[in-house]
A and B are shown apart, each in its own frame.
Chain A
Amino acid sequence: MNAWLWCGTTFLGLGLPPVIWGVASGPLSRRVLAQNTGSTVVALAFLLLAQGYARPSYTDLSLVLSLLGPVGTLVCVRLLADDLSAGASRWSTAVTALCVAASLAVTAAVCAAAAPGRPMVKLLLIGALVALGNVIAARALSVGVLEEADGTR
């Protein structure tokens, strides 16, 4: 078991329990935010695990999740617009900043270990998609709520 696998395990072990706790309690907006954070955490863990297993094709999992995770959150935000009108979670900005920082750090670490060329470009693309998807979904969670509230009142 190498250092990448240790990092991936630590990432999963430290990142997902707060997500499960956040999705299990509190107001609905915090639960959606926790679900969005969970997809980011698992996508980054997939990047680390792919490096740990020395299987570059495992990064496809991360690529798929970076596209599907925000879609799932946006679906929730769209269908739960009525229930989310109470306002966005106050942790939204801090959690999003933490997710973006984590994806930058993980992408930099994985790119430093990858060979220059197409694999590195793919890793950079995946890292950018993960960070961007998290920001877009969190923004839709807070801004979409405001638009919905303005539209109904």
Chain B
Amino acid sequence: MVSEDLVVSVCLVLVAASATVAVAVREPVRQALVLAVLGLALAALFTVLQAPDVALSQLAVGSVLTPLLILLSVRKVRRRGHPTGDEAQR
């Protein structure tokens, strides 16, 4: 039982580390990449807690959907915010 807890502890530490990094990184584009890694760590945590169904949805949401939404929003905001910038030249 104690050794089973070791897997959970490792995953918890990884989740805490990546979540701290996600807070510490300030730029939204780079934050999206950290959030993808946080989603992976959370999926691993759910798996070792014997919840693979939750981990499946976490994989889909955390590793693809959240970064996609953030990156699309950043793209749209940049276009709207700097119409004469390098985005308008393309």
- A and B co-occur in one complex: yes
Q: Is the CB of B14 within 8 A of A20?
A: yes
Q: Is the CB of B33 within 8 A of A12?
A: no
A57-B52, A72-B67 known; A42-B29 Cβ under 8 A = no
Q: Chain A interface residue count: which class?
A: 35 or more
Q: Chain B interface residue count: which class?
A: 35 or more
| Interface of B: prevailing SS | helix
Q: Is the CB of B37 within 8 A of A76?
A: no
A28-B30, A80-B29, A83-B29 known; A12-B11 Cβ under 8 A = yes
Instruction: Give the top 4 A-B pairs by smallest Cβ distance, nearest first.
Output: A1-B3, A79-B71, A24-B21, A72-B64
**B residues in contact (CB < 8 Å) with A:** 3-4, 6-7, 10-11, 14, 17-18, 21, 24-25, 29-30, 32-34, 36-37, 40-41, 43-44, 47-48, 50, 52, 55-56, 59-60, 63-64, 67-68, 71-72, 75, 86-87, 90
